[in-house]
Amino acid sequence: MTIKLYTTKTCPYCKLAKDFLNEKGTSFTEIDVAEDPAAANEMVKLSGQMGVPVIDVDGKVIVGWNKAALEEALGKKEKAKA
């Protein structure tokens, strides 16, 4: 499973998403879009907007902090492994 988490340092919802993924023991790549303009452009292409967090779970894009959607995306991947 490949997870990309597009964030900024000042975003409280990004912290919630990071904490959630860490609690689940899920590995992810954090990309700070404030520091990386190319990554910001990539995020906009994926999500269609500039708000963070944007979470890409194997191509399923979740915009904003949406615990239920993230649990669902992670759950489907975990079930596929079983």
* pLDDT, position 82: 44
Quote the distance between the C-alpha of residue 73 and its chain's center. 11
**Which residues is 22 bridged to in the sheet?**
none
Give the per-residue pLDDT at 54: 98
pLDDT at residue 78 tops 90: no
Q: Place 77 in a pLDDT band, splitting at 50, 70 and 90.
A: low
The model's pLDDT over 23-73, given as tens digits with 9 standing for 90+, comes to 999 999 999 999 999 999 999 999 999 999 999 999 999 999 999 999 999
CB 5 within 8 A of CB 30: yes
| Residue 30: both structure tokens together | 């954090």
Q: Give pLDDT, residue 40.
A: 97
The residue with tokens 């967090």 is 53
Backbone angles phi, psi at 58, to 5 degrees: 50, 45
